[in-house]
């Protein structure tokens, strides 16, 4: 059974899917890799502020996304973020409340969406990740599903006036994770590197950053 979100989440998702169809040439692959039940982390590369909205709208499970705290500076975004069921995180800091919320979501057997890089890539290539995705998976035993997205960095109001950009979303095979109770630091780093290589495998070579060598092994 498809996991549902709040009425606001579902309405926004339907509207987003309509806009995607209207304004872009959208392609999605690997939807069969999404686990329908159990705790799961959707880990994606990050190119645009539109990424979480697009990803959440096309996945067959309602997802709680970790959003950057800076979004709350935009008028009305605090209410929208809350209504969407998401929560914010302070980038580059040990945000204990955000970690608690993330563990709570996964502990309830729900889906959590995050961007291991923590910020949008200015170059379009994969950047350096934080180890949070590995740590959260190891502490909860959550399955990680890698997602590669391209084309959203080419979306802007002006460009949409004269052409429809090609946006491609690829979902990779799930990465199962066994729960670990101690000694997380090194293992979390290794698991995060594994996730980044899996994301890179879903991207064109020129977008893989330093993971170009390990991406082929992750396929």
Structural domains in the chain, sorted by start: 7-218 (3.40.1130)
Q: What is the mean pLDDT of residues 192-216?
A: 93
Q: What is the pLDDT of residues 135-186, one digit of tens each?
A: 999 999 999 999 999 999 887 666 666 678 899 999 999 999 888 776 788 8
Could you tell me which of 185, 172, 186 has the C-alpha nearest to residue 215? 172
Hey, which bits of 45-183 come out as E strands? 63-68, 87-89, 111-114, 143-150, 166-171
Residues 6+ apart with CB under 8 A from 219: 201
Hey, which bits of the chain come out as E strands? 25-29, 40-44, 63-68, 87-89, 111-114, 143-150, 166-171
- pTM of the predicted structure, to 2 decimals: 0.90
DSSP 154: G
pLDDT-wise least confident of 30-34, 59-63, 72-76 = 72-76
Q: Give residue 118's pLDDT.
A: 87
Q: Give residue 108's pLDDT.
A: 94
């Amino acid at each position: 059974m498809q996991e549902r979100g709040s009425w606001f989440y579902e309405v926004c998702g339907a509207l987003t899917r309509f806009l995607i169809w209207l304004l872009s040439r959208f392609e999605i692959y690997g939807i069969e890799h999404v686990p329908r039940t159990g705790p799961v982390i959707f880990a994606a590369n990050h190119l645009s502020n539109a990424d979480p909205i697009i990803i959440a709208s096309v996945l067959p499970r309602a997802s709680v996304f970790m959003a950057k705290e800076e979004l709350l500076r935009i008028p009305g975004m605090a209410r929208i973020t809350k209504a969407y069921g998401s929560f914010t995180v302070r980038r580059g800091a040990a945000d204990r409340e955000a970690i608690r919320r993330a563990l709570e979501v996964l502990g309830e057997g729900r889906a959590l969406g995050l961007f291991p890089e923590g910020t949008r890539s200015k170059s379009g290539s994969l950047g350096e990740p934080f180890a949070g995705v590995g740590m959260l998976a190891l502490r909860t035993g959550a399955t990680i599903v890698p997602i590669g997205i391209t084309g959203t960095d080419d979306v802007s109001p002006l460009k949409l006036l004269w052409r429809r950009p090609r946006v491609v979303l690829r979902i990779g095979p799930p990465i199962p994770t066994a729960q670990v109770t101690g000694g997380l630091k090194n293992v979390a780093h290794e698991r995060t590197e594994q996730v980044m290589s899996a994301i890179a495998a879903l991207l064109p070579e020129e977008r893989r950053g330093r993971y170009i060598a390990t991406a082929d092994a992750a396929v």
